[in-house]
């Protein structure tokens, strides 16, 4: 696989995944703007994640049948429209609907990652997946930072306007520079593609185990980031939106570690990597439970959560992509739908539980 193609896919993941995370540091601003409660405003990230899961269910399987480049460019354009609708939302329920559409069309990374894995040699697959996913993690971090900064400085609507422009530019670059896609590996109909998803889940124990593990990881991860803005707005922190967004920079460490984790996955038993991920998560939960009222405790906990999520993701996907190549997009669909369903449940449960906390 050419380095230019690898880095193009990595950067494309960075830009496109940000659409899912711009809203997180701006939840306080959105809550104030529309005069809605914390529980109500949590519907924004929750519906975004639900939309993402549904988008993966209906769009990502098409990567096993259609020209991936055209599909990726088309979805980039649709995502730009959804972001524009969010910026122009006249009411809270319009924003919720637009958030759902943002998630629905933000599945470009889940088409790029199996595409990169397919272009890679088997002995380099973990490293390639890790590199492309590092772009995805950087996009998550920058999405939060950009949401906090532009939301605080210019209003939350400005973030969505800028993001819409970025997605238009990305689509133009990808249509010109993305490598030619490989011939379709299947000629079955779209409905048959969808019907095959539960069959794949039933047939492959690896897919079942890794999907459930990923969902549990992402439930804890999403729940933490869903309530973090409200925690940081209150004493003893009392941060503004810009500072809340900058808190996302702690994720740079896990993004930088992504290629290394990919190499470790190539050389290590996947079960060992999964155990490492579980250990990181347990460490994070212990730190956050004991020291959530201190800044250093939140930073250490966030770093451990990010590293645990990334370790689990790379290990899970490298293992899943060892299954038959002609069904990689559908394997990605099953895994990521379950993964983000876990995230949506985690976001909702933590936001619901927040009103019973001492804060």
Residue whose token pair is 């920058």: 142
pLDDT of residue 260: 67
Nearest-angstrom CA–CA distance, 302 and 287: 9
- Taking CA atoms, 310 is separated from 54, 290, 334, in Å, by 22, 23, 18
The answer to whether residue 298 sits within a structural domain is yes
Instruction: Report the distance separating Cα 199 and Cα 265, nearest Å.
Output: 27
Nearest-angstrom CA–CA distance, 303 and 60: 30
Task: Tell me which residue range forms the domain holding 83.
Answer: 3-354
Q: What is the mean pLDDT of each run of 10 residues along the chain (359 residues)?
A: 79 92 89 88 89 89 81 95 96 96 93 77 68 80 87 92 96 85 62 88 92 91 84 83 73 64 67 86 91 89 87 82 78 86 85 70
Q: Does residue 182 belong to any structural domain of this protein?
A: yes
pLDDT value at position 69? 85
- Decide if 281 is inside a domain: yes
Please indicate, yes or no, if residue 238 is contained in any of the structural domains. Answer: yes
Within a domain: residue 187?
A: yes
Separation CA 271–CA 275 (nearest Å): 6
Residue 104 lies in a domain: yes
Give a yes or no: residue 359 inside a domain: no
pLDDT for residue 30: 93
If one counts the domains in the chain, the total is 1
| d(C-alpha 227, C-alpha 237), whole Å | 14
Write down the pTM of the prediction.
0.78
User: What is the per-residue pLDDT for 273?
Assistant: 83
Write the burial class of residue 327 (CB in 10 Å: 0-12 exposed, 13-18 middle, 19+ buried): buried
HEC profile of the chain: CCHHHHHHHHHHHHHHHHHHCCCHHHHHHHHHHHCCCHHHHCHHHHHHHHHHHHHHHHCHHHHHCCCHHHHHHHHHHHHHHHHHHHHCCCCHHHHHHHHHHHHHHCCHHHHHHHHHHHHCCHHHHHHHHHHHHHHHHHHHHHHHHHHHHHHHHHCHHHHHHHHHHHHHHHHHHHHHHCCCCCCCCCCCCHHHHHHHHHHHHHHCHHHHHHHHHHHHHHHHHHHHHHHHHHHHHCCCCCCCHHHHHHHHHHHHHHHHCHHHHHHHHHHCCHHHHHHHHHHHHHHHHHHHHHHCCCHHHHHHHHHHHHHHHHHHHHHHHHHHCCCCHHHHHHHHHHHHHHHHHHHHHHHHHHHHHHCCCCC
In a domain, 155, yes or no: yes
pLDDT number for residue 19: 93
Token representation of residue 344: 């949506």
Residue 92 has what pLDDT? 96
Report the alpha-carbon distance of residue 200 to residue 164 in Å, rounded.
35
Q: Which residue has the tokens 């998550």?
A: 140
Read off the CATH number of the domain in which 259 is found. 1.20.1250.20
């Amino acid at each position: 696989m050419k380095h230019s193609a690898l880095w193009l896919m990595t950067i494309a993941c960075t830009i496109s995944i940000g659409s899912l995370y711009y809203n997180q540091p701006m939840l306080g601003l959105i809550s104030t703007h529309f005069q809605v409660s914390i529980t109500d405003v949590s519907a924004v990230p929750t519906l975004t994640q639900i939309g993402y899961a549904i988008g993966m269910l209906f769009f990502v399987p098409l990567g096993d049948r259609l020209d991936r480049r055209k599909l990726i460019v088309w979805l980039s354009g649709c995502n730009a429209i959804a972001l524009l609708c969010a910026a122009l939302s006249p009411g809270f329920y319009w924003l919720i609907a637009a958030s759902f559409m943002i998630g629905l069309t933000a599945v470009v990374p889940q088409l790029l990652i199996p595409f990169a894995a397919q272009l890679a040699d088997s002995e380099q697959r973990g490293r390639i997946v890790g590199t492309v996913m590092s772009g995805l993690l950087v996009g998550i971090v920058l999405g939060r930072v950009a949401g906090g900064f532009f939301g605080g400085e210019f209003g939350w609507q400005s973030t969505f306007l800028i993001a819409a422009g970025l997605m238009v530019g990305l689509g133009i670059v990808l249509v010109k520079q993305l490598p030619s896609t490989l011939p379709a590996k299947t000629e079955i109909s779209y409905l048959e593609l969808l019907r095959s998803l539960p069959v794949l889940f039933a047939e492959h124990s690896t897919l079942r185990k890794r999907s459930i593990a990923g969902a549990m990881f992402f439930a804890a991860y999403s729940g933490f980031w869903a309530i973090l803005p409200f925690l940081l707005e209150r004493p003893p922190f009392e941060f503004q939106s810009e500072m809340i967004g900058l808190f996302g920079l702690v994720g740079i460490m896990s993004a930088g570690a992504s290629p290394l984790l990919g190499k470790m996955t190539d050389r290590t038993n996947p079960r060992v990597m999964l155990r490492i991920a579980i250990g990181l998560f347990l460490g994070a939960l212990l730190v956050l439970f004991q020291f959530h009222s201190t800044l250093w405790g939140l930073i250490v906990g966030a770093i451990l959560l990010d590293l645990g999520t990334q370790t689990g993701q790379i290990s899970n996907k490298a293992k899943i992509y060892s299954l038959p190549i002609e069904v990689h997009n559908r394997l990605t669909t099953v895994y990521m739908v379950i993964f983000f369903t876990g995230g949506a449940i985690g976001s909702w449960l933590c936001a619901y539980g927040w009103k019973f906390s001492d804060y």
